[in-house]
Structure 1
């Protein structure tokens, strides 16, 4: 039995204080944290009448609440989306006939961002170095472009402690990497472009396996040949720019010809000795990334057919070298923003002229210093 007239009067005059107290008691009794409530669907205030053993009537104020959890509508942070769709203009560039082909090797970019004191996104990649590399690539108009890997930094998906300055920056990094791929295709319209996965791209795969294994490998409906939705080639729209993605760090590599290959790299040695470590391990010449340093070493061995020289070299990186990229030698201020501390890293790229198959090759290191580069007599700067 209920008394609707008095209840309507209470509702017209606003909820009584004791009713609000009952709501609070109800939530507390059921151990429901207010922070976990996403929306209040309905609140009901009503009364019931009971009689005690002596026949006396007693009116009881009752309260009911219908709520939904905070996670019902999805996560508070935006879900990472593919980079922007970019329409490339038609190119009239043509290649000169030559027995030698040309390959441009672009090392680690570490595309990513953090928020500075003004709350604006500041890149961990070096925009000037990337711009100069694109300009050099355009002038060369190569047959092949190899992205060595770690083009995305992805600190939010790594295993290391993350400061708030780097939070919610993955989408911006994906968008910028997508734009770089579009710019690279415009600079080298007829080239094969291959993106080697590095250990930082592998962070996305590992993050999915560790935190959302049920979603690992999920593809768009009825598209079994498409890339997984949360994968680098899908997020960065690599198919739009005809960029081949080679997953499987550290096993994947690109063979420029039978005597020279490109790997992201899994060796790091101090004192510029990483190149010598590769010479001990590899039987052919190798270009590698990962260390962010320009290195070069050669070794000549004698076999039945005579001397054979192999080389190992790293063209450096296209990331900032002033401490912006999170590393074991970097540090942050009390707000979690990176401090300036110059790493023993160098910026640059490599250009390879080669014959296909069992042919010759020649590697040129192109250095970038303080936003300036020189390639075959032409200066590049911003």
Structure 2
């Protein structure tokens, strides 16, 4: 038989007798030429039936395309989740005016079930033991009255929400320590122990919570000012949240550090997360008054403007805690929420 690798009968017999490379040598061509001719002529490979390659190609062309079953997850109809907007460390009169305006805008946007100012709403620097600018205004009554005007603006921005204020180390603690150290005979006066009345909170619809509170149920999600602080060299953001979680063994939101951050944990006790809530104070104002660690005007504290939105089930364990950073750029103060800009 004359060698002709274009002839399927001859090529089939030659491959069976000589193999691919032997047939190529016999024909004086490269072995890839013989492979291409074999595939072009549909000659079966060893172990294949003559029609298997064609059948495979036909299957690949016509195999069914999956459409995908719809998700079984559905929106929980009729299940009521509540929301709480939490701002920390306003430090009046050292509040950040732009950040506070953004906070008001968030009150209007979310229309939350509750609004909490989470400690150190007032700074009361003149009650502090630390050295400060002697030109600093020393008028506690004026600070109380002016800050109450800010609380009234929150009432206007979020009229239906429950208003709560936790105490911190700069407001009630400084006031109490001052009484104990400077005028102990007055410390037992009941009128001076009613701190909410001194601040004028009841008549404007605000509740003072001295020890923090449980947002959904006891041992569920705790809101309080906090006491733990970790400096930047020790890790900074979220490290204080870790300390608070290990202290309380639950989920929660605290202020005190002036930072945003979150620490997550999953163990045999379940899933939980603790958030640091940032701050609403102006570090430049505080440095000018010499009430910060760094008093150089061009220094930068590792503080983060922002607040927290909690979505939770009032009678269950389900919750979501969301950081909302408040940004400063180009002389503007604003927050971004799901593509919407809330600007001062």
Instruction: Report the TM-score, using the length of structure 1 for normalisation.
Output: 0.62
Matches within 5 A, 1:82-161: 99-112=80-93, 124-161=94-131
Contact 2:89/2:280 (8 A) holds in 1 = yes
Aligned match for 1:352, one of 298, 306, 310? 310
8 A Cα contact 2:125 2:291, kept in partner: no
Computing the radius of gyration over CA atoms, which structure comes out larger, 1 or 2? Answer: 2
1:330 aligned partner: 294
Change (3 A) 1:181 1:230: farther
Which of the two has greater helix per residue?
A: 2
TM-score for both structures, normalised by structure 2: 0.69
Looking at structure 1, the residues matched to 336 and 157 of structure 2 have their Cα atoms a distance apart, in angstroms, of 18
Match of 2:70 in 1: none
In structure 2, distance between residues paired with 1:211 and 1:106: 32
CA-to-aligned-CA distance 1:36-85 (integer Å, 9 cap, x gap) = xxxxxxxxxxxxxxxxxxxxxxxxxxxxxxxxxxxxxxxxxxxxxxxxxx
Aligned residue for 1:200, secondary structure, equals coil
TM-superposed deviation, 1:229: 5.1
Go from structure 1 to structure 2 and tell me whether the alpha carbon gap of 1:328 and 1:179 turns closer, same or farther (over 3 Å shift). closer
Q: State the Cα distance separating 1:380 from its structure 2 match.
A: 1.2
Distance in 2 between the 1:98 and 1:373 partners? Answer: 29
Pair 1:167–1:230, CA change in 2 (3 A): farther
Query: 1: CA distance between counterparts of 2:79 and 2:284?
Result: 41
Residue segments in structure 2 that go unaligned for 5+ positions in a row: 1-77
Does 2:266 align with 1:288?
no
Please give the per-residue CA displacement for 1:91-141, whole angstroms capped at 9, x wherever unaligned. Answer: xxxxxx8611111111111112xxxxxxxxxxx210110111011112222
Q: Is the 8 A contact 1:352 1:361 kept in 2?
A: yes
Work out whether 1:366 is the aligned partner of 2:328.
Answer: no
Q: Which secondary structure does the structure 2 equivalent of 1:342 belong to?
A: coil
Which whole-Å CA distance do the structure 1 matches of 2:273 and 2:305 have between them?
A: 20
Conserved 8 A contact 1:351-1:366: yes
User: Where is the strand percentage greater, Structure 1 or Structure 2?
Assistant: 1
Distance (whole Å) between structure 1 residues aligned to residue 139 and residue 96 of structure 2: 16
- For structure 1, list consecutive stretches of 5 or more residues without a partner in the other structure: 1-96, 113-123, 220-227, 333-338
1:263 lines up with 2:224 in the alignment: yes
Map residues 60-99 of structure 1 onto 2, 5 A cutoff: 99=80
Q: Is the 8 A contact 2:224 2:253 kept in 1?
A: yes
CA–CA separation in structure 2 for the residues paired with 1:209 and 1:358:
42
Partner of 2:60: none
Q: Distance in 2 between matches of 1:210 and 1:234?
A: 22
Q: How many residues align?
A: 253
1:191 and 2:155 are equivalent in the alignment = no
Give the secondary-structure state (helix, strand or coil) at the position aligned to 1:110: coil
Cα distance, 1:230 vs. partner? 7.7
Cα offset, 1:184, TM superposition: 1.4
* 2: CA distance, partners of 1:169 / 1:330: 24
Render the CA deviation track for 1:300-339: whole Å, top value 9, x for unaligned. Answer: 1025xxxx1111111200001336254452226xxxxxx3
**Counterparts of 1:357 and 1:141, CA distance in 2:** 20
- Matched with 2:14 is none
**162-171 or 371-380, which moves further after superposition?**
162-171
State the 1:292 CA deviation. Answer: 0.3
Instruction: Please give the alpha-carbon distance, in whole angstroms, between the structure 2 residues aligned to 1:105 and 1:187.
Output: 14
Select which of 196, 199, 207 maps to 1:236. 199
Q: Distance in 2 between matches of 1:167 and 1:185?
A: 27
Higher relative contact order, chain-length normalized (CA < 8 Å, sep 6+): 2
Structure 1 residue 169: deviation in Å?
4.2
Q: Would the alpha carbon gap of residues 376 and 208 (structure 1) be closer, same or farther in structure 2, given more than 3 Å must change?
A: same
Contact 1:132/1:373, CA 8 A, preserved across alignment: yes
Deviation at 1:236, TM superposition (A): 3.0
- In the other structure, the counterpart of 2:71 is none
